[in-house]
Amino acid sequence: MTKTATTRYDVAEHLRTQEEMAAYLEACLEEANGDASFIAKALGDIARAKGMSQVARDAGLSRERLYKALSGERSPGVDTIFISRQEQRKPLLLASD
């Protein structure tokens, strides 16, 4: 019997446009059923698709801190906030202590 080789699927590799990112976030919000960790993970996927370093710079945070806040491994509560900058029409992810 031959073994099938598989690779890990990373949604961030497939989110290329703002429209795809918005659709992905909308779908995740619908599926999350109030699960803040699920939403944080989705925001993390989008941040990785955009470039975590750039998102971290825009938010004024370290890349490591942003990864931690958006890992989905903990419930972010109030410390992870998603705001939309209307003037640039780009999402900005912020995390506080």
Q: What are the two backbone dihedrals, phi and then psi, of residue 76, each rounded to the nearest 5 degrees?
A: -75, -25
Structural domain boundaries in the chain: 17-95
Quickly tell me which residue has 């955009």 as its tokens: 50
Alpha-carbon span 27 to 36, nearest angstrom: 14
H or E element, residue 80: strand 80-85
Which pLDDT tens digit goes with each residue over 23-37? Answer: 999 999 999 998 888
Which pLDDT tens digit goes with each residue over 67-86? Answer: 888 887 776 654 454 443 33
